């Protein structure tokens, strides 16, 4: 999936113009948003996760992004040659590790060779070519300076471009009706129950391979309109079986995956976290109340932390999203499960007062 520059602000304009604020000049001639003096030392303090018992050296987290730096198979190569870590991929994580970030999350580690977000995605679903050792080298350099290293496990579902995913699957047969950055999307077919069970198994296999490759944990990607988000949302889940209908059924797959990961990975200190939409910004989609209820259930499932976001590909051509993904009165304040909140946390008092720092 290529980057769509049409959705960015026009050159020379400032996103700050979208929000009421006061600015003040700094000695270097730049403008700074006026605000109260805030003690940010809390951000440098370690945080220990209640269920895995692992400790991050500080409160900073490198959010998962799509790097698209791994090997892509040539026409003469089989499909399972793709997704092998490249020198560039390893170098990138070495540099991030040198930043001494508390937690580094590797983005879009795909669980299948034939279901991808983009060319160059990392893929870890078997070890036929010793790729576990290659990923272990990535883990080693990323963790050298004390960072925790987590793999975001992902499947695009209907949201893979037609060129890469000619036969997509999803919760139901609801097609993504946009053309974005040169990509179109084919109509998906609903996964059968046996296929869902195999999907759960594959998530567990990939988590085990990540553990063997030196990752400290995995993030189950349930946001941004990818496969698990398609099960969670009424806009894309029209099923009438045990995976459709009420929110408990629509979230069933998420908890089956968490259970499978725990069953396969033998280490109780292995981190399991979840990336989740706090709101979908579309009619009939997942609501903040759904998110709050799901967060409570995730805590009961001993999920270490929740990475809150909010986006779907179908929103790429719409107006800018609101300032915060989850307003403070809707946040899930828990003594056990911290929240990681990304995007537009532009003022220190927002960071230091957030439930992302409470554990």
pLDDT in tens, the chain (359 residues): 344 444 444 445 555 566 567 787 888 888 777 777 788 899 999 999 999 999 999 999 999 999 999 999 999 999 999 999 999 999 999 999 999 999 999 999 999 999 999 999 999 999 999 999 999 999 999 999 999 999 999 999 999 899 999 999 999 999 998 877 678 999 999 999 999 999 999 999 999 999 999 999 999 999 988 999 999 999 999 999 999 999 999 999 999 999 999 999 999 999 999 999 876 666 777 778 888 899 999 999 999 999 987 665 544 443 333 334 444 334 454 556 676 655 545 555 555 554 443 33
Query: Is 18 exposed, middle or buried (CB count within 10 Å of its CB: 0-12, 13-18, 19+)?
Result: middle
Domain locations in the chain? 52-357
pLDDT of residue 224: 87
Domain 52-357 in CATH 3.20.20.140:
no
Beta strand residue intervals within 234-352, DSSP E: 271-277, 306-309, 339-341
**SS3 (DSSP) at 307:** strand
The two three-digit tokens of residue 176, written as one number? 């993504």
pTM equals 0.85
Q: What kind and span of H or E run contains 103?
A: strand 103-110
pLDDT of residue 35: 74
pLDDT of residue 288: 80
> How far does Cα 289 stand from its chain's mean position?
20
Rg, the chain, Cα only: 20
DSSP string across 228-267: HHHHH-TTT----STTSSSHHHHTHHHHHHHHHHHHH---
pLDDT of residue 31: 79
The two three-digit tokens of residue 341, written as one number? 């909140």
How many other C-beta atoms can be found within 10 angstroms of the C-beta atom of residue 305? Answer: 29
Picking from 272, 296, 276, 331, the residue whose alpha carbon sits closest to that of residue 53 is: 272
Burial 308-334 (b: 16+ CB within 10 A, else e): bbbbbbbbeeeeeeeebbbeeeebbeb
pLDDT of residue 329: 36
Provide the pairing of β-strand 148-154 with 103-110.
parallel
Q: How far is CA 115 from CA 8, 35, 167, in A?
A: 27, 46, 9
Picking from 304, 344, 352, the residue whose alpha carbon sits closest to that of residue 322 is: 344
pLDDT of residue 30: 83
The answer to whether 224 touches 230, Cβ cutoff 8 Å, is: no
pLDDT of residue 322: 38
CA torsion sign for 40, 43, 46, 49 is positive
Provide the pairing of β-strand 31-33 with 23-25.
antiparallel
pLDDT of residue 4: 42
């Amino acid at each position: 999936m290529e980057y769509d520059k049409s959705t960015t602000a026009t050159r020379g304009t400032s996103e700050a113009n979208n929000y009421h604020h006061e600015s003040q000049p700094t000695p270097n001639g730049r403008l700074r948003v006026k605000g109260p003096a805030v003690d940010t030392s809390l951000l440098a303090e370690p945080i220990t996760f209640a269920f895995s018992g692992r400790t991050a050296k500080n409160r900073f987290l490198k959010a998962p992004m799509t790097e698209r730096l791994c090997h892509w198979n040539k026409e003469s190569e089989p499909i399972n040659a793709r997704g092998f870590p490249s020198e560039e991929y390893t170098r990138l994580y070495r540099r991030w590790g040198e930043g001494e970030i508390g937690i580094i999350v590797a983005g879009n580690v795909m669980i299948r060779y034939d279901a991808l977000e983009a060319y160059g995605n990392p893929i870890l679903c078997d070890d036929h070519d010793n790729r576990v050792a290659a990923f272990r080298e990535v883990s080693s350099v990323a963790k050298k300076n004390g960072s925790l290293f987590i793999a975001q496990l992902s499947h695009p579902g209907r949201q893979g471009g037609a060129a890469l995913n000619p036969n997509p699957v999803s919760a139901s047969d609801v097609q993504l009706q946009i053309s974005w950055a040169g990509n179109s999307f084919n109509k998906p077919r609903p996964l059968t129950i046996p296929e869902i069970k195999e999907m759960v198994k594959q998530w567990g296999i990939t988590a085990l391979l990540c553990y063997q490759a030196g990752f400290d944990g995995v993030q189950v990607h349930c946001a941004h309109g990818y496969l698990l988000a398609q099960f969670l949302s009424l806009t894309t889940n029209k099923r009438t079986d045990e995976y459709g209908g009420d929110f408990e059924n629509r979230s069933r797959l998420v908890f089956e995956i968490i259970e499978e990961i725990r069953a396969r990975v033998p280490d109780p200190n292995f981190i399991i976290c979840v990336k989740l939409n706090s709101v979908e910004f579309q009619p009939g989609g997942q609501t903040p109340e759904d998110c709050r209820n799901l967060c409570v259930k995730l805590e009961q499932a001993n999920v270490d932390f929740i990475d809150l976001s909010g986006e779907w590909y179908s929103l790429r051509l719409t107006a800018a999203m609101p300032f915060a993904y989850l307003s403070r009165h809707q946040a899930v304040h828990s003594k056990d499960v911290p929240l990681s909140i990304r995007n537009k946390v532009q003022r220190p008092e927002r960071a230091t007062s957030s439930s992302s720092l409470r554990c």
